[in-house]
Amino acid sequence: MYDFNNVIKRQNTKSEKWDTLDSLKSIPFTVADTDFAVATPIMEAIIDRVAHPILGYTVLEDSFYNSIINFCQRRYNINFKKNMLFITPGVMVGVGIAIDAWTKEGDGIIIQTPVYTPFFKVIEKNKRKLIRNPLKLVNGKFMIDFDDLEEGMKTAKAFLLCNPHNPTGRVFTKEELEKIVELAKKYSVLLISDEIHSDIIYSGQKHLSISSINDYAKSNSITMIAPSKTFNIPGLATSVAIIPDKKLRYTFFSKLKALGLHEGNAFGVIALEAAYTKCDNWLDELIIYLEENRDYVLKYIKDNIPRINISSPEGTFLMWLDFSSYGDHNKIQEALIKNNVILTDGLIYGSEGLGYFRLNIGCPISTLTEGLLRINSAVKELIND
Ligand SMILES: Cc1ncc(COP(=O)(O)O)c(C=O)c1O
């Protein structure tokens, strides 16, 4: 049994989440890393490496590639070959390179809003055209509007999928992925699939990589995965691009190399290998812990703050809370801050985020309990206002 209940002080570690707070009294449930200790085999591998006084360039040995291939085989029953895999210093780097390599200025790229903020930026900063396919809330669940998606596909060059979806926590089903691929094939659209959250999947759900749907998806996609969210090592900036098609991977790798981004960093490489080979039990227990956190939040809110609407996440350690019944967005934000509970402002995920705030549940239950009490106090103030 791993101790995910252990509260670890993160201040003064240059933590983006904990060292940027305006008040030391605040608890942040924001940036998508977790407050859990990294699994022992990963720490041992890093400590072992640090013990050597030279931190030179790092070679990617077969054991590195095999760890990725076997992890994907073991956990997702998908098979990749070594030559399809590329290390990148972050998932968004891989997404940016794919956009740069495979599309040109003015080309349309579809995203499903509300969605992870850098998705907007990577399209706009590369001077591509943003095409929105907003998810629709149907009976409390965020669903794809396929008619709207088809309209978008007609003029799009690429589709940037987020699966599992940040911030809604949707894990798209086989049928949904099949429909996406069918449309992509019909309109010759490339699939850029960010699957960074794919390891955190709750009971009754199954993650399917889009590349496994059929031959079109396989030959027209890049899938980005990483041990970063799962094993809480995003600071090591190490992720993996999977590109089964020979032509696509040639253009991708040429760009990656031209920018000098094709090398791994010493700690990221060994941490990835340890994570993917020695931490399955840790991961299985993490998922159980996070699912309990999710259920705890759902029950607490149902029993105590039923005016907040939540669509239960099927994966990810993120929950998308609808506070809109409390009125003005800024006033809600102010009340949360005043009560020292910091959630991510839903508006950074697009205009669909009005009235929403994202809660990161990747923390010990005691931290989450305190956060919920503070949210409750904040909304009570709004009612009494
Ligand atoms: C969907 C999604 N993609 C990418 C990232 C960032 O990944 P990286 O730091 O590897 O670029 C995040 C981080 O929150 C994310 O939620």
| pLDDT per residue rounded down to tens, the chain (385 residues) | 789 999 999 999 999 999 999 999 999 999 999 999 999 999 999 999 999 999 999 999 999 999 999 999 999 989 999 999 999 999 999 999 999 999 999 999 999 999 999 999 999 999 999 999 999 999 999 999 999 999 999 999 999 999 999 999 999 999 999 999 999 999 999 999 999 999 999 999 999 999 999 999 999 999 999 999 999 999 999 999 999 999 999 999 999 999 999 999 999 999 999 999 999 999 999 999 999 999 999 999 999 999 999 999 999 999 999 999 999 999 999 999 999 999 999 999 999 999 999 999 999 999 999 999 999 999 999 987 6
Do 151 and 240 fall within a single domain? Answer: yes
* Predicted local confidence at residue 235, as pLDDT: 97
**3-class SS at 199?**
coil
Residue 10 domain flag:
no
pLDDT at 384: 76
The position carrying tokens 């904040």 is: 378
Q: Which of ligand 1's atoms lies nearest the C-alpha of 239?
A: 10
Contacts of residue 18, Cβ cutoff 8 Å, sequence gap at least 6: 10, 11, 28
- How many domains does one find in the chain? 2
162 and 114 in one domain?
yes
Could you identify the atom of ligand 1 that is nearest to the CA of residue 197?
1
In a domain, 308, yes or no: yes
Q: What is the pLDDT of residue 329?
A: 98
Same domain for 128 and 262, yes or no, is yes
Residues listed for the chain: 385
| Separation of CA 346 and ligand 1 centre (Å) | 16
**Of 88, 122, 196, 320, which is best to mutate to test ligand 1, by the most ligand atoms within 8 angstroms of its C-beta?**
196
Residue 285's CATH number: 3.90.1150.10
Which protein residues are within 6 Å of ligand 1, measured from CB? Answer: 32, 90-92, 116, 162, 166, 194, 196, 226, 228, 234, 239
Is 7 among the domain residues? no
| Nearest alpha carbon, ligand 1 atom 10 | 90
Ligand 1 center from residue 32 Cα (angstroms): 8
Establish if 5 belongs to a structural domain: no
Distance between CA atoms of residues 124 and 76, nearest Å: 33
Query: For ligand 1, what atom is nearest to the CA of residue 89?
Result: 10
pLDDT of residue 1: 75
User: Cβ(200)–Cβ(284) under 8 Å?
Assistant: no
CA of 123 to the centre of ligand 1 (A): 15
CA distance 115 to 113: 5
CATH code (residue 255):
3.40.640.10
Whether residue 268 is contained in a domain is answered as: yes
Query: What is the model's pLDDT at position 55?
Result: 95
Both structure tokens of 7: 């509260």
User: Ligand 1 centre from 229 Cα, in Å?
Assistant: 8
How far, in Å, from the CA of 196 to the mean position of ligand 1?
A: 7
Same domain membership, residue 240 and residue 118: yes
Q: How is residue 100 written in tokens?
A: 């740069």
In this structure, are 244 and 366 located in the same domain? no
Atom of ligand 1 nearest to the CA of 92: 11
- 87 with 33, same domain: the answer is no
Q: Which domain holds residue 299?
A: 27-38+280-384
Nearest CA to ligand 1 atom 13: 32
Q: Are residues 125 and 274 in the same domain?
A: yes
Residue 189 CA, ligand 1 centroid: distance in Å: 23
In angstroms, how far is CA 58 from the centroid of its own chain? 27
Sheet containing strand 309-310, edge to edge, reads 27-29, 341-345, 356-360, 318-322, 309-310
The rounded Å distance from CA 234 to ligand 1 centre is 9
Q: How far is the CA of 86 from the centre of ligand 1 (A)?
A: 17
CA 209 to CA 204: how far, in whole Å?
A: 17
Q: Do 138 and 161 share a structural domain?
A: yes
Within this chain, do residues 201 and 312 fall inside the same structural domain, yes or no?
no
Query: Which pLDDT does position 332 carry in this prediction?
Result: 98
pLDDT at residue number 252: 98
Number of the ligand 1 atom closest to the C-alpha atom of 94: 11
- The atom of ligand 1 lying closest to the CA of 316 is 16
Q: Which of 93, 194, 344 to mutate to test the pocket of ligand 1 (most atoms within 8 A of CB)?
A: 194
> What pLDDT is attached to residue 153?
98
- State the closest ligand 1 atom to the C-alpha of 226, by its place in the atom list counted from 1: 10
Instruction: Tell whether 19 is covered by a domain.
Output: no
Judge if 262 and 286 occupy the same domain: no
State which of 111, 112, 116 you would mutate to test the pocket of ligand 1, scoring each by most atoms of that ligand within 8 A of its C-beta. 116
Residues 274 and 285 in one domain: no
In a domain, 298, yes or no: yes
Name the residue with the closest Cα to ligand 1, atom 9: 90
Report d(CA 343, CA 31) in Å as an integer. 9
- Final residue before a domain boundary, out of 260, 278, 296: 278
